[in-house]
Amino acid sequence: MTSEGFLEKELAAAMRGLGALWRCPAGSNTDKGMNLAGRKAVEGVLDRLVSILFPGCHGKAPAREGGMGSGLAEELRATACELRGQIRRAFQYQCTIEPCADCDKCGAKAGAAVSDLVAALPEIHAILQRDIVAAYEGDPAARSTMEVVMSYPGVYAVIVHRLAHRLYARGVPLIPRIMSEYAHSRTGIDIHPGARIGAGFFIDHGTGVVIGETTVIGEGVKLYQGVTLGALSFEKDAQGRLVKGIKRHPNVEDGVVIYAGATILGGETTIGAHSEIGGNVWLTHSVPPGSKVYDRQPRPLIRGPEGHWQAWNDMGAGI
């Protein structure tokens, strides 16, 4: 057997098996001519959108001096056209999962979603400016707003979220989630595109933050690393399937600060405005505006030079 032919039998068997998978809706990509955009293609469009919002900060090259407007306009036009095609195919694929009454309008719906996003870019940029200022003013280590834009993972995750959320709000399937998971993979910050987040939002450090789909966050809110805004439980229907589309995640009102490791759960849980939630707090019920919620600080055990262990009180005296 030649070196080129040693896999012929195995290849034929593999292709027969893969062919069966390709005919299955759960594994299809090119079935019925939909040819879904790959994840990398969606990520590429997202990268270009971010670089259009912040030219010279998130692109691969410095912004061109002179003629920037026309260059960005052409880049935006090309990016929008590519995104429209990706969204059209996503709508077509979604019809195989959740049949709809207007399957022939996927192209029109995709065009409307992209037009809405492009028209909203100035508004999105204005909100992001408030997010950037919140990050700069909220972190004494920040030396400039440019440093914040170019290097802070929390700011990048919020930039992506504001783009993905606009598409999610237009009912676009699949694409917003790919965008949010791209930001998740790059920053360790997991924000579902369905979450509604007010302006002036800052995630400091950020790693391990989780914000669920039905979370509602007011303006001027600050989170630290490891915060979870999640679901308390998952309601099931009579067949034991998870019920989708219900309020599962908490509300966080204006001016709230939530410190590292805090976990806040439940769709009926509301953190009142200007409250302060301490590190590692576990909350499954609402608190009124202006609350300060802290976990009891454990007394450390310190081993002295004689080898004896002592518990220390808040004043540093052994007890």
Tens digits of residue pLDDT in 246-259: 999 999 999 999 99
pLDDT bracket for residue 109 (50, 70, 90): very high
Does residue 231 sit in the same domain as residue 167?
no
Give backbone dihedrals phi and psi of 251, rounded to 5 degrees, phi first: -105, 135
Does residue 133 sit in the same domain as residue 78?
yes
- Do the domain assignments include residue 24? no
Q: State what percent of residues in the chain have pLDDT above 70.
A: 86
Instruction: Select, from the ranges 26-40, 57-71, 108-122, the one with the highest average predicted confidence (pLDDT).
Output: 108-122
- In the predicted model, what is the mean pLDDT of the chain? 87
The count of domains in the chain is 2
Tens digits of residue pLDDT in 190-220: 999 999 999 999 999 999 999 999 999 999 9
- Do the domain assignments include residue 285? yes
Does residue 119 sit in the same domain as residue 89?
yes
- Once rounded to an integer, what is the mean pLDDT over residues 69-73? 74
Does residue 67 sit in the same domain as residue 216?
no
Tens digits of residue pLDDT in 161-198: 999 999 999 999 999 999 999 999 999 999 999 999 99
Does residue 176 sit in the same domain as residue 301?
no
- Do the domain assignments include residue 36? yes
Does residue 123 sit in the same domain as residue 217?
no
pLDDT top residue among 306 and 86: 86
- Do the domain assignments include residue 2? no
Q: Contact, 206 vs 225, CB < 8 A?
A: yes
- Do the domain assignments include residue 4? no
- Do the domain assignments include residue 18? no
Does residue 167 sit in the same domain as residue 213?
no
Runs of H (alpha helix) within the chain:
8-22, 39-53, 68-97, 106-138, 145-151, 153-169, 175-187
pLDDT top residue among 221 and 12: 221
pLDDT top residue among 67 and 145: 145
pLDDT top residue among 274 and 314: 274
What pLDDT is attached to residue 119?
Answer: 95
Does residue 293 sit in the same domain as residue 230?
yes
Which CATH number belongs to the domain containing residue 315 in this structure?
2.160.10.10
pLDDT top residue among 160 and 10: 160
Does residue 147 sit in the same domain as residue 257?
no
User: What is d(CA 257, CA 57) in angstroms, rounded to the nearest whole number?
Assistant: 28
What pLDDT is attached to residue 57?
Answer: 73
Residue 128 has pLDDT above 60, yes or no: yes
Which CATH number belongs to the domain containing residue 112 in this structure?
1.10.3130.10
Instruction: Select, from the ranges 31-35, 87-91, 234-238, 258-262, the one with the highest average predicted confidence (pLDDT).
Output: 258-262
Does residue 174 sit in the same domain as residue 219?
no
Instruction: Select, from the ranges 4-8, 16-20, 29-33, 238-242, the one with the highest average predicted confidence (pLDDT).
Output: 238-242
- Once rounded to an integer, what is the mean pLDDT over residues 4-32? 65
- Do the domain assignments include residue 14? no
User: What is d(CA 73, CA 83) in angstroms, rounded to the nearest whole number?
Assistant: 15
Centroid of chain to Cα 6: 46
Residue 1 has pLDDT above 90, yes or no: no
Q: Contact, 86 vs 37, CB < 8 A?
A: yes
Does residue 167 sit in the same domain as residue 275?
no
What pLDDT is attached to residue 240?
Answer: 76
Give the strand pairing for 228-230 and 210-211: parallel
Does residue 169 sit in the same domain as residue 292?
no
What pLDDT is attached to residue 236?
Answer: 79
- Do the domain assignments include residue 40? yes
User: Residue 96 is part of which domain span?
Assistant: 29-188
Please give the structure tokens belonging to residue 179. Answer: 């965008």
The pTM assigned to this predicted structure is 0.84
Beta bridge partners of 257: 222, 276
Residue 26 has pLDDT above 60, yes or no: no
Centroid of chain to Cα 270: 21
Burial of 169 (0-12, 13-18, 19+ CB in 10 A): middle
What pLDDT is attached to residue 30?
Answer: 47
Amino acid in position 185 = S
Residue 24 has pLDDT above 60, yes or no: no
